[in-house]
């Protein structure tokens, strides 16, 4: 009986040791450009709560060196950077900035499991309000984005109308041609 327990423990230990050899990408690519922060304070809040997953200046904690936890940390960082990278503005991720304030209000960001190990990322009510306002000033708010895209859309639809008018003309011409052919 004892023997079986030792064997099982041994196997678990071997597996644990084995998975440590799976390579985990913990690189921090160079910082290209940051957004135009409305104030240094907004940036400070972001450093506290967002930079580890949304910048190229990630502080990799000790547990990011121990599999399998390291896999989860690395995946949060890689997916976080992909969705919204503060160090790579304006490289296409800018539009997600509009979501930032909303996500902080709804407590979806920072991710809740991040807060277990990062008490500094917990905000008081006042800090949260300041941060949300700062994010809106820096990235624009969702309401603004809606307005902008609404004007873009109305532009698009006038273009489409004009184009479809042209197409109509073409069709009419074709019809005329066909009629003429039939007459001949
Ligand atoms: C522990 C890692 C982590 C932290 C810390 C974190 N995020 Fe995220 N964030 C993610 C991941 C992963 C995604 C992409 C996947 C998803 O949508 O859940 C994401 C997505 C986003 C997006 C894009 C949403 C979209 O619709 O694509 C924004 C904006 C964002 N986060 C803002 C923030 C802000 C602001 C903070 C700081 C208050 C923050 N995040 C903190 C991991 C994190």
Residue 82 corresponds to which tokens in the numbers above? 């992909």
Q: Which of 14-18, 66-70, 138-142, 160-164 has the lowest mean pLDDT?
A: 160-164
Range of lowest pLDDT (61-70, 93-102, 133-142): 93-102
Residue 103 has pLDDT above 70, yes or no: yes
Task: Read off the pLDDT of residues 31-40 as tens digits, 9 standing for 90 and up.
Answer: 999 998 999 9
The C-alpha atoms of residue 116 and residue 110 are separated, in whole angstroms, by 11
Q: 111, 103 in Cβ contact below 8 A?
A: no
Q: State which of 55, 72, 75, 80 you would mutate to test the pocket of ligand 1, scoring each by most atoms of that ligand within 8 A of its C-beta.
A: 80
Range 126-144 average pLDDT: 88
Distance 148 CA to ligand 1 centre (A): 23
Pocket test for ligand 1, best of 43, 84, 119 (most atoms within 8 A of CB): 84
Residue 157: the pLDDT is 47
pLDDT value for 96: 76
Q: How far is the CA of 140 from the centre of ligand 1 (A)?
A: 17
Q: What pLDDT was estimated at residue 39? A: 96
Of residues 59, 109, 39, the one with CA closest to residue 80? 109
pLDDT for 165 equals 47
Q: Where residue 141 falls among pLDDT bands split at 50, 70, 90?
A: confident
Pocket (CB within 6 angstroms of ligand 1): 49-50, 52-54, 76, 79-80, 83-84, 96, 99-100, 103-104, 109-111, 114
79 vs 152, residue with greater confidence: 79
| Rg over CA atoms, the chain | 27
pLDDT of residue 160: 46
Nearest CA to ligand 1 atom 13: 80
Q: Which numbered atom of ligand 1 lies nearest the CA of 75? A: 12
pLDDT value at residue 79: 96
Mean pLDDT, residues 50-74 taken together: 97
Residues 71 and 41: beta-carbon distance below 8 Å: no
Q: How far is CA 132 from CA 35, 41, 48, 84, 93, in A?
A: 16, 12, 14, 16, 19
What does the pLDDT average to over 75-85? Answer: 95
Tokens for 77, please give them. Answer: 């960082």
User: What integer pLDDT is reported at residue 144 of this predicted model?
Assistant: 65
């Amino acid at each position: 009986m004892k023997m079986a327990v030792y064997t099982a423990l041994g196997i678990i230990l071997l597996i644990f040791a084995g998975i440590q050899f799976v390579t985990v990408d913990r690189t921090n690519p160079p910082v290209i450009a940051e957004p135009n922060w409305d104030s240094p304070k907004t940036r400070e809040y972001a450093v506290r709560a967002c930079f580890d997953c949304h910048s190229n200046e990630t502080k990799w904690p000790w547990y990011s060196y121990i599999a399998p936890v390291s896999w989860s940390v690395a995946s949060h960082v890689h997916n976080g950077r992909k969705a919204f990278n503060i160090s790579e503005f304006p490289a296409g991720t800018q539009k997600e900035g509009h979501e930032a304030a909303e996500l902080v209000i709804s407590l979806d960001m920072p991710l809740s499991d991040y807060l277990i190990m990062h008490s500094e990322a917990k905000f008081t009510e006042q800090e949260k309000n300041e941060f949300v306002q700062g994010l809106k000033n820096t990235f624009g708010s969702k309401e603004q984005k809606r307005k902008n895209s609404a004007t873009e859309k109305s532009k698009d639809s006038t273009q489409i109308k004009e184009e479809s008018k042209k197409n109509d003309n073409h069709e009419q011409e074709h019809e005329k041609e066909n009629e003429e052919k039939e007459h001949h």
